[in-house]
Structures are given as structure tokens and as C-alpha cells.
Amino acid sequence: MNFIEQLKYRNELLFYFGLANLIAGIVFFVLAYTTVNMLNGVNAWFKPFKFALSTTLYCWAMLWYCHYLQNFNASLFNWTIIITLGFEVAYIAFRASRADLSHFNLSTPLASTLFSIMGLAATVATLYTAYISILFFVNSFPELPTYYVWSIRFGLVLFVIFAFEGAAMGARLSHSVGGSDDSFGIPILNWSRKFGDLRIAHFIGMHALQVLPILSYYVFKDTKVVFLITALYFVLAVFTLVRALQGTPFFQYQITNTRRSE
């Protein structure tokens, strides 16, 4: 079977939820370039686009890995993820349609409550992922290459660590360090080029879930190399986190002043 058929075969419900997020992400991306819903100088639709696409990648990676677990309750996991991450993407999209903040929005009691619920939803999904990572450590998988199993284990652990790093942004009510959450960032991702940005480490660490197993299975095919690549990947994520906490932008910028002759 090709890749899409294999995804559907392994977990049909989570496959379609991921597909729905992919389609929604494409719609959000189109809206980002065809509407004027601006928020902090950036089109508000970019945010739900990023979250929807990230949800697709998470769902498809997890359904692929969980297929290897014996006696795993896929139904409970499916509905936990659909409810928690589905609420998160839907709420962010709703706020984007109003050109309003979804994260760090304490402007009204309702907005504050919904922001807290969104944080709780993300926490539940992350804790479930942490539980699955434990299952991968306590079980053996003799039918799989050892290097591949370790890459899945490491990918899950790094995902959990840097997913919880989001709590640092929630506590600060900001993802920027040293300045405000403004629009002077790189295209689409909008990571700041003026201040420290906690989202970079969050992004890098969480996507170890996809990067490490892919590199292990298709490129390195060696357990020792997987350990080394994981260590380097972890150092990169920590480096971006420390740099952000220092208020230093990961992507430097220069402003040149020119004088116009009269």
C-alpha cells in the first residue's frame, strides 16, 4: 500500500481528523493572503494555519507509531486528541475570524476561561503523549530495527519536553522576551527578528516527533548515530530556548539608515 493508504489502514479515524486539519490549514493559508484580518501587523489567519498543519503532522505521526503497540486503546486516544486539539484549532480559527487574540487573551472573563481551557486541552494531549512514550520504553519491538525504535522513543520524549515549554509562554502571557509580540518576524512563522522568541524552541523540539524517526529510518540506519543526532538536536532546541530567554533573536536583522540628498 502507498503511504496514504497505510495511514488510513493503521488508524482510519485519526487519519481523517488529520486530513480535515490539512484541508482546514490550506483554507486558512488562502484566507491569510485574501483577507485583511490583521492582528499585531500580521494576518490573523496565519496562526490557525500553523496550528492546523502541526495537528496534521502530529496525528499522522502518532497513528503511525501507535500501530506498533500491542493492545493499545486507539479509540480512547483518538477521541482524546480529536476533542482537545480539535477545540484548540477551532478556537484559534474563531478568534482569527474576528482578528482577535486566542493566546494570552484575558480581555474578558469568557476569553480568559477559553484561553485556560485551551491550555488544559494542550496539557491533556501532551500527557497522553508522555504515557505513550513510556509504553515505547517498557515494551520491546523485535520486528522493528533498533535504531528506528530508539528514534521514536527520543522523538516522543523531546516532543513532550518542548510541548510543556509552552507553559513558559503562558506564564509570561507572551512568546517574546525583551519586547512586545509584534509583526517584525520571518515570513509565515513570524518568529521575531527583534527580540527573543520562545516559539522557536517549542517548534524545533516538538517536531523531533517527525524528524528523528524519518532521519533514522531513511538516512542513518544506525543506533549510535541516532543517539548522536538526538543529542545534537536537543542541544539545538535548548540553544534556541536559552537564546530566547536572553532576549536575543535567533534570526538577526540589520537596519540601515540612509540619507537622501536634497
In this prediction, residue 41 has a pLDDT band, given cuts at 50, 70 and 90, of confident
Report how far apart, in Å, the C-alpha atoms of 183 and of each of 42, 109, 240 are: 6, 27, 20
List the grid coordinates of 25.
490549514
Residue 1: predicted pLDDT: 64
C-alpha–C-alpha distance, residues 65 and 157, integer Å: 13
Instruction: Give exposure, 48-73, as e/b (b: 16+ Cβ within 10 Å).
Output: bbbbbbbbbbbbbbbbbbbebeeebe
Sign of CA dihedral 189, 195, 198, 200: positive
C-alpha–C-alpha distance, residues 165 and 122, integer Å: 12
**Residues sharing a CB contact under 8 Å with residue 110, sequence separation 6 or more, in sequence order:** none
Residue 87: predicted pLDDT: 98
Burial class (CB in 10 A: 0-12, 13-18, 19+), 95: buried
To which residue does cell 540628498 refer? Answer: 261
Determine the average pLDDT of the residues in 218-224: 97
Tens of pLDDT, residues 111-163 = 999 999 999 999 999 999 999 999 999 999 999 999 999 999 999 999 999 99
Per DSSP, 259 falls in state -
Tens of pLDDT, residues 159-209 = 999 999 998 899 888 998 988 776 678 888 999 988 999 999 999 999 999
Q: Are strands 176-177 and 38-39 parallel, antiparallel or unpaired?
A: unpaired
Does position 253 have pLDDT exceeding 60, yes or no?
A: no
Determine the average pLDDT of the residues in 68-95: 97
Which residue type sits at 156?
L
Residue 126: predicted pLDDT: 98
Q: At what angle do helices 223-245 and 208-215 cross, to 10 degrees?
A: 150
C-alpha–C-alpha distance, residues 84 and 121, integer Å: 5
Residue 55: predicted pLDDT: 98
> What is the average pLDDT score of the chain?
93
Does position 262 have pLDDT exceeding 50, yes or no?
A: no
List the grid coordinates of 9.
489502514
List the grid coordinates of 155.
522523538
Of residues 151 and 261, which shows the higher confidence score?
151
C-alpha–C-alpha distance, residues 112 and 188, integer Å: 27
In this prediction, residue 251 has a pLDDT band, given cuts at 50, 70 and 90, of confident
E strand or H helix that includes residue 247: none
Determine the average pLDDT of the residues in 8-13: 97
C-alpha–C-alpha distance, residues 88 and 117, integer Å: 9
